[in-house]
Structure 1
């Protein structure tokens, strides 16, 4: 039965990789990390007069390029001018050509969220009345294609490479010092380094196309690569490459000088390698934390160190588990994984799981924000799947701990049994040699073959004997490894753990590409509130809130003025005026005036001068609206003795 273990391992690994590929292929495009929470004009809105600009408000800061926002007329011709500008906070504007005719216009945007993921979308608004348009309002994200899939695979390989490299090195230093001289363990850790390095280089090349056009031909565009190097994500990838150079030196020392030292010298070197390795591993983990979810949203100063700790715990657990599996299956019989090493790893894995639970609870609260997000959002559903896999892994790990306990109690194999195995295997080999020698001598004496032919035959025979000895030695070591039922049981349970770990890592990779549940729910709530506000404004009932960006052109002349009119009906109304700067903070200006005009009835402008209440807040009560209609609300903002501007917006009142 043990002879079929290796094929079964290969089949299981292939199945797990297939599951991983299916998870990655089924992942939703990572194009919603910064959600569009509002716009002016709003989605589907019909305005009476052509706006001078279009503003977009996102749930977080974004990076915009020169061509990030496009406004197209019904025939598909661009009507925007100039580059998008950050008006205030998370609101961005693009100016429009003057004198736009009536019809339906399409706004298409493609930007990069602060947590490094591309965001794309489109919506329409109409001037005068809706019309037919030749422009599709559905935008394909740059990551929704071959480049996006390659980028997702690169992210998975980079995570896997880091886990194997860092976890394997930690296993050798903390649990099994003799493993530094085992060739299979060396190959595993070096493979992790190679995978992480290759994936990082690939991500750096793919990044430009991934966040812009999504075309394979743009992967080697040097101008795009230059733009990527100036971004936060580009800096993180370059930092990762530099740290990988230090990691290569660490690996060379671990599997070179460290393995050749005596026991007492090893203890001194272990401390230095542990400190240096921890610093390098933490730096590599920080290259993810500084450019993804942890760097944005609530408490980034706490979230980034927690994310680093989370990644290190994942590497120590899953990477150590992979190394243990390789050692159990591939380590030579004369250098087995001893029971003390397994017990030390068991304690390390337990500490890693505790760390994962603590940091995972904090990350879940930060990214979800509510219990409903756990079941109502894709992020929450993936998180539930991840939690389920961790629970299954912990359950299997408990079985592994039982096998470890049995292994510790079981007596060591007798040296006599190993010696007998060696003697049995030597006998046929020795007989073969003697027979072969006799035949050679007889042949040389009777047939008179030339010396060159004899030497050639000896070389062939020697090569055959060497292959036979290698095969017999491999079989002997396999029999010795499989002879202990406790060790065999441990191997099977660790193999099951490692298989689930592959799927767990795939789910984690997809999770990092998915919009956090908190952001998704906030965006949905903002969209719902915007729709409700638009509906109530169109029907003439309820309070009205108008946000109007302004720019007087002078120093500190940019901001947003907000008008709240309650209850927005004929008769007396309460009005509040708020002024915020580009940073979203309230600030005072020398003067603000409001006027109401009903052009259809030639009423107005009706001026209102609100009273200053507190910083950035003015108020007026008893504001008279004489009749229902589509009123123009004009606000004059003066930021200095000579700098002022008037902005306006139409709304239904009454």
Structure 2
């Protein structure tokens, strides 16, 4: 006997899906950066002598900015930027600063939306004159996380799932099983898909403002943020999707209304019209993703967007049709013809070919190299997706074999129905017309009712007749129920049909996990973008290191007064190239009038208080009058180092002066 989907089994499948989906979202964390910061002016950690007039940031691709996208904060956390960020050239955006900024450490905080609709953020510091303490946290900001980020990811998954159920279910009915238009479980599947994608689209529209800004739950219903969202590319795509869903509702109403009531001959013209209209609406819905996400930016967007639309349509036709087939096999009381299964097998095969072909192009476009498969998060997720698709295709191959065996058997659905009727008659011990099996009163019951009517003058005779008629109707309904159950058991007892049901159920289970992986993949930075950003950062670092090496790096000047006779002077420390590893150090001591000043002893010590490293003492060698030097001075890590210089002008007169400097 073939197992059915019981409520307990349904709950188990739902819990398994939620566990897989939750694990994927938790592993993904906040939305990964799709636009990467590749450079800045001033650069991160630099100490400049003169206050800059603006701060400029360069990204790996164009980004969308708002009035608060770029903020510059002084050591006390007060904003010192003026005006909105402006695009200066290509992918560089600048914000002007107040004039006459005092010395100290400043924090640059940025939060923008990349061209493929995902929010990114970060922060870094630079110093004017010399580093100082700051009350601003400089850890990289995270956006797209928290409750709002989780809800947004869940909304994206449900929108994909609704699209697949609605489009795939409708295509299954029109292309494979037109009788399915009158099957209630199939109708509920398609309508549920429409309700799911509509509700999730409204949810995404409400969440979008908070998702790309503060990430606070309270900002979900901020009408100002909603107004800003409607002016963005993503907002336009979501509104377009809602308008197209209104047209989809009309399509569904016709498919399960007027179309279902037509005779087979009358359905031909309407089938053609519904197929054309449904294809246009489905392509428009798919385009609402393509026009606002990965396909709309980067390499070859003019080709990538149509390919993305085709990819989504093929996935929906395959997986959505699979779900409709699963419902028809498990829930439908109407026999599913073998011819319908064969037609879906052919449609699914064409869809798989389209999915593979478009997927290969998308993979090449998003990765750019074989190494990106293992070196980037996007590539690793893509490998998981490819593995799941391979498993799904393997199970689909098994399903095609079961379908072929069903088609080759001599037992057709019609024969099965006839056998069920014969079996029913043998079990019940009487031969009834078709009307009795459908639930109508039998001839015997009618005769009994007639006799009861003739004896209506007698109260007891009328009551007996009524009871006999009620009993006959009840018996007819029981016979019909038994016949239906027996027919279903006999149909499902076929091992070929049983094997097909199990393989289709396995396909649907893998498809649930595959869709979850795909949802996370759409929120992950493409491998090509990640590698380009790494290359740009490496080039920027190399350029910065070369610049530091050629410019003499760091110079600190400190006045001292030991308190004794002739105890005043100036100590200057040159540190080259002021980075992690070996450095050259020169110390020059002069009198207040600038002349070289020979003193008995000079010592230098380096301390990184934040990491509790040091003091690391260095005793330079005396080279010439007022000049000391040391080579190979090792700095173990980058940070804000305290450089302390101890000078002794006599046997008893000594003082230590210090300054902080960013090294490395």
Q: TM-score range by the shorter chain?
A: 0.7 to 0.9
Match of 1:499 in 2: 509
- Structure 2 unaligned segments of length 5 or more: list them: 431-438, 453-458, 553-593, 595-664
Shift of residue 540, structure 1, vs aligned partner: 1.2
- Structure 1 unaligned segments of length 5 or more: list them: 442-447, 543-600, 602-654
Shift of residue 420, structure 1, vs aligned partner: 3.4
CA distance in 2, matches of 1:256, 1:302: 38
Match of 2:250 in 1: 249
RMSD: 3.2
CA distance in 2, matches of 1:464, 1:139: 74
Closer, same or farther: CA 521–466 of 1 in aligned 2, 3 Å? farther
SS of residue in 2 equivalent to 1:112: strand
Alignment of 1:516-531 (within 5 A): 516-531=526-541
Closer, same or farther: CA 477–217 of 1 in aligned 2, 3 Å? farther
Alignment of 1:128-147 (within 5 A): 128-147=129-148
SS of residue in 2 equivalent to 1:263: coil
User: Residue 110 of structure 1 contacts residue 141 of structure 1 at CA under 8 Å; is this kept in 2?
Assistant: no
In the alignment, structure 1 residue 123 sits paired with structure 2 residue 124: yes
Closer, same or farther: CA 414–173 of 1 in aligned 2, 3 Å? closer
- Which digits, 9 at most, give the CA deviation of each residue in 1:2-60, with x for residues without a partner? 34654545533432332123212322322401111111111122212111110001111
Closer, same or farther: CA 422–538 of 1 in aligned 2, 3 Å? same
User: Residue 142 of structure 1 contacts residue 209 of structure 1 at CA under 8 Å; is this kept in 2?
Assistant: no
In the alignment, structure 1 residue 70 sits paired with structure 2 residue 71: yes
Match of 2:345 in 1: 346
Alignment of 1:526-541 (within 5 A): 526-540=536-550
Shift of residue 144, structure 1, vs aligned partner: 1.0
Shift of residue 316, structure 1, vs aligned partner: 0.6
Match of 1:417 in 2: 419
CA distance in 2, matches of 1:458, 1:99: 105
CA distance in 2, matches of 1:309, 1:459: 61
Q: Pick the structure with greater CA Rg.
A: 2
CA distance in 1, matches of 2:551, 2:47: 18
Closer, same or farther: CA 463–28 of 1 in aligned 2, 3 Å? farther
User: Residue 424 of structure 2 contacts residue 483 of structure 2 at CA under 8 Å; is this kept in 1?
Assistant: no
Match of 2:42 in 1: 41
Match of 1:630 in 2: none
- Which digits, 9 at most, give the CA deviation of each residue in 1:562-599, with x for residues without a partner? xxxxxxxxxxxxxxxxxxxxxxxxxxxxxxxxxxxxxx
Shift of residue 141, structure 1, vs aligned partner: 2.8
Shift of residue 345, structure 1, vs aligned partner: 0.9
Worse overlay, 79-88 or 297-306 = 79-88
Match of 2:398 in 1: 399
Shift of residue 527, structure 1, vs aligned partner: 1.0
SS of residue in 1 equivalent to 2:111: strand
In the alignment, structure 1 residue 511 sits paired with structure 2 residue 521: yes
In the alignment, structure 1 residue 370 sits paired with structure 2 residue 369: yes
CA distance in 1, matches of 2:336, 2:145: 46
Closer, same or farther: CA 348–414 of 1 in aligned 2, 3 Å? closer
Alignment of 1:404-483 (within 5 A): 404-412=403-411, 413-423=415-425, 426=428, 472=482, 475-476=485-486, 478-483=488-493
Match of 2:2 in 1: 2
Q: TM-score, normalised by structure 1?
A: 0.76
User: Residue 17 of structure 1 contacts residue 502 of structure 1 at CA under 8 Å; is this kept in 2?
Assistant: no
User: Residue 104 of structure 2 contacts residue 131 of structure 2 at CA under 8 Å; is this kept in 1?
Assistant: yes
Shift of residue 283, structure 1, vs aligned partner: 0.3
Shift of residue 414, structure 1, vs aligned partner: 4.1
CA distance in 1, matches of 2:341, 2:416: 21
Q: TM-score, normalised by structure 2?
A: 0.75
CA distance in 2, matches of 1:467, 1:531: 83
SS of residue in 2 equivalent to 1:26: helix
SS of residue in 2 equivalent to 1:81: coil
Shift of residue 401, structure 1, vs aligned partner: 0.8
Shift of residue 461, structure 1, vs aligned partner: 9.5
SS of residue in 1 equivalent to 2:122: strand
Alignment of 1:148-297 (within 5 A): 148-297=149-298
CA distance in 2, matches of 1:75, 1:467: 83
- Which digits, 9 at most, give the CA deviation of each residue in 1:165-211, with x for residues without a partner? 00111111111111111111000000000000000111111111111
CA distance in 1, matches of 2:133, 2:429: 92
